[in-house]
Structure 1
Amino acid sequence: MKISILVGTMTGTAQLCAQEMELALDDGEHRVETLLMDQLDSSVFLRDGVFLICTSTYGQGDVPDNAKALYDDLRARRPNLSGVRYGVFGLGDRTYA
């Protein structure tokens, strides 16, 4: 199975978490790739496999700078994602929980 870890980060913490996930999941049975969101648009979800969204927030729960283009593209295009298999790993500040 192919697993794509999509990373949204401001300071690199989410990227470090994604790298740990990749090491844990890449067991020979699964093909794992880690992709920074600033390289992506909504067409990424046309790929086969499973997606893990690993992202932080900053400020008052804002989208990380490197994820804004993907976020805006998803909002503008509104692609049908009903068949997409995904999981979310979020990092934030407990002050806002």
Structure 2
Amino acid sequence: MPMLKIYVGTMYGGALDVAEQVAPLFESAGYEVAILEQPSLDDLVEALPDLALFCVSTTGSGDFPGNFVPLVRGLDEQSPALVGLRYGLIALGDSSYGETFCGAGRRLDEMLQSLGASRLGERLEVDAMETFMADDAALPWVEEWIEAQRLKVA
């Protein structure tokens, strides 16, 4: 059974809620799912998953949540080759912050691609000003993503 790892960057639990809500969709599609609430670089590179999903909220002025900083710092300092990594990205933010809206997700996307990872499809950006519960946007997006990217294995 292929492995999907969901890497969560969250401050108040919104991104974790999204991860927990979408996990059953991947299980139904034939994946073993692991949700990583304190992700590290080792969680990514030691055993490259068959598929990765990043659920990352933005804090402050486009910053990464504290629990996600070790992973980002590892990517930045060690620049591992991620050529075999296929991923999707759900970025949570608040458009009232202007230019830094979904800043953490956008920066992560750039980092992953610069290291050779391949994003499948478009990044989902969830705006807290428009969507009270992020999973209301994430669930249909993940269903469509699984279908459009032909990710079903079961």
Q: TM-score if structure 1 supplies the norm length?
A: 0.88
> 2:43 maps to what in 1?
44
Q: Which amino acid aligns with 2:58?
A: T
> 2:28 maps to what in 1?
27
Counterpart CA distance in 2 for 1:52 and 1:60 is 23
> 2:54 maps to what in 1?
53
Task: Select the structure with the greater relative contact order (CA < 8 A; seq sep ≥ 6).
Answer: 1
Q: 1:23 to 1:85 in 2, by over 3 A?
A: same
% same residue: 32
Structure in which a larger fraction of residues adopt strand: 1
TM-aligned CA deviation for residue 43 of structure 1:
2.2
Q: Calculate the aligned-residue CA RMSD, in Å.
A: 1.4
Q: Deviations over 1:36-58 (max 9, x none)?
A: 1x2x3222223231110001001
Q: Which amino acid aligns with 1:12?
A: G
Contact residue 5 and residue 33 of structure 2 kept, 8 A:
yes
Counterpart CA distance in 1 for 2:9 and 2:29 is 26
Counterpart CA distance in 2 for 1:68 and 1:29 is 30
Structure 1: stretches of 5+ with no match in the other structure? none
Alignment of 1:1-97 (within 5 A): 1-27=2-28, 29-36=30-37, 38=38, 40-46=39-45, 47=47, 48-95=49-96, 96=98, 97=101
Superposed structure 1 runs of 4+ greater than 6 Å apart? none
Structure in which a larger fraction of residues adopt helix: 2
TM-aligned CA deviation for residue 75 of structure 1:
0.5
Task: Report how many aligned residue pairs link the two structures.
Answer: 95
Q: TM-score if structure 2 supplies the norm length?
A: 0.58
Which is higher, the Rg of structure 1 or of structure 2? 2
